Amino acid sequence: MDHTIPTPVEVGHRAGKILDGIKATEEFGRLERSSKEYSDCWATFTGYPLIANWSLAADTPPLFEEAIRVLALKTAVFELSDGDEQTAELEISAPVDEMVHAVLAQYTLCQAMTEKLGIRFIHMTDQERFSYEIDGYTDQCYRAAGWGEPNRRYWLDRTETGRRLDILGAKYESIGIQAEGRSHCFTFEKKTPVEAAAAIVAT
């Protein structure tokens, strides 16, 4: 079934209200704390590390804000397109997408929050396309929501993402990590420095 893509103004207006509603729920504080704590469990080789001089402590709070905004935008598009999941799966930057995963991992809170608000968070891996472009539809909706310009520290277009992935890939391979973290050649048989020191002390 074909659906009309809602205008950025329509999406922005609705997304702003959705975001306000999310932040007003009693679950929001815990969702924010839990999502930030989860970050060091979720980090992949191709998401957060794309950020220059990445710092978990410094970058997690602003990334959480971007993730919540993205979920509000996707929810708005889903509603305004009569439930078109493909249209609602907006193009976003890889680091922001990774934080979205961290938020959605807080399943119980997300369920309680969305049920209370009568909305649905939209995110399916099989719909992701990873071809985000600056000034495209996502950016237009983001600005129309009144959130200003997306933070370019986190919002990287596909060309810059590809360039940084090439750099990361080369660095990973230099220490034995292949295919952007999908395989490695470590056997874990060699003792760690801590284990080796403990063995010396024991003798």
Output b/e per residue, 98-132; b: 16+ Cβ within 10 A.
bbbbbbeebeebbebbbeeeebebbbeeeeeeeeb
Structural contact between residues 50 and 156, judged by C-beta atoms closer than 8 angstroms = yes
- Look up the pTM and report it: 0.86
pLDDT, tens only, 29-51: 999 888 877 555 666 787 889 99
**pLDDT above 90 covers what percent of the chain?**
63
CA torsion 30-36-45-130 (nearest 10°) is: 60
Q: CB neighbours of 180 closer than 8 A, spacing ≥ 6? A: 45, 46, 165, 168, 169, 172
Average pLDDT over all residues of the chain: 89
In whole angstroms, what is the distance from residue 74 CA to residue 45 CA?
25
Which pLDDT tens digit goes with each residue over 114-168? 999 999 998 877 656 678 999 999 999 999 999 999 999 999 999 999 999 999 9
DSSP string across 16-60: HHHHHHHHHSTTHHHHHHHHHHHHHHH--SSSGGGSTT--HHHHH
Residues β-bridged to residue 183: 178
Rounded (10°) angle between helices 8-24 and 28-42: 100
**Can you tell me which residue has the tokens 């930030």?**
36
Three-point CA angle 77, 83, 87, nearest 5°: 50
147 phi, psi to nearest 5 deg: -95, 5
